Amino acid sequence: MKTKINLDSWNRKEHFLFFKQMEEPFYGLTTRVDCTLAYAKAKELGVSFFNFYLFKTLKAVNACEPFRLRIIDNDPWIFERIDASATIMREDQTFGFSLMKYHPDLDTFNTIALQEIKRIQGTSGLLTREFPHENLIHFSSIPWVDFQGLSHARGFSYPDSCPKISYGKMIDENGKKTMAISVHVHHGLVDGIHVGKFLECLQEYLND
């Protein structure tokens, strides 16, 4: 379900209209998250760490209202639920775009994720199914690189407003595990304060 934002009464009207007209309205930043407790919890539960931190990320996305905003036909809308399109690697070192629907229960979400990973690994090509185009985050993991910055391939003519969240290689220093995280968002919908609140929320969920 989605609800159209009343632009005339929205306190972000000017911000939305200002950034929406730009050829590149996205901006991004890179920081680190502490995943020490999250990694231990995933191992304790027998859940793959990738599925675990994807679940925590989606939980934070759905808890942060600006990350549920999308632009449809030039108007802002807010979605009730946001899912993930995550890149899934195959044995031949190609990847496919998945669709993993968010569920607030970890066991249920893990089952959904495992089924979709298995499906992707049994296919070839990039686009292996139909996708909703709005209520998604674009999610990727680059576990081979401890990056300090990240950019994304973008078609500027495509009306995209989905956040893009990527994780890097996990680094262990003196028993503390951290990962780089890159967050790219549409500035007409999400400001720096909102990214900050999202990252605070994410860290709380990773520590929970």
Domain of 164?
A: 19-170
Total count of domains within the chain: 1
In which band, very low, low, confident or very high, does the pLDDT at 157 lie, cut at 50, 70 and 90?
confident
Residue holding tokens 């990973």?
117
User: Could you give the CA distance from residue 131 to residue 69 in angstroms, rounded to a whole number?
Assistant: 18
Query: Is residue 178 in a domain?
Result: no
Query: Is residue 122 in a domain?
Result: yes
In which band, very low, low, confident or very high, does the pLDDT at 154 lie, cut at 50, 70 and 90?
confident
If 0-12 CB within 10 Å is exposed, 13-18 middle and 19+ buried, where does residue 194 land? middle
Catalytic residue among 15, 133, 138, 187, which? Answer: 187
Contact 207, 178 (CB under 8 A): no
Q: Tell me the sheet residues that pair with 18.
A: none
User: Could you give the CA distance from residue 57 to residue 62 in angstroms, rounded to a whole number?
Assistant: 9
Give the domain CATH number at 31: 3.30.559.10
Query: Is residue 146 in a domain?
Result: yes
Query: Is residue 152 in a domain?
Result: yes
Query: pLDDT tens digits, residue range 103-118?
Result: 999 999 999 999 999 9
- Kindly report the number of other CB atoms within 10 A of residue 83's CB atom: 22
Query: Is residue 141 in a domain?
Result: yes
Query: Is residue 155 in a domain?
Result: yes
Please indicate whether residue 152 is annotated as part of the active site: no
User: Could you give the CA distance from residue 27 to residue 33 in angstroms, rounded to a whole number?
Assistant: 19
Query: Is residue 13 in a domain?
Result: no
Mean model confidence pLDDT for the chain? 96
pTM comes to: 0.95
Contact 143, 88 (CB under 8 A): no
Query: Is residue 83 in a domain?
Result: yes
Query: pLDDT tens digits, residue range 37-73?
Result: 999 999 999 999 999 999 999 999 999 999 999 999 9
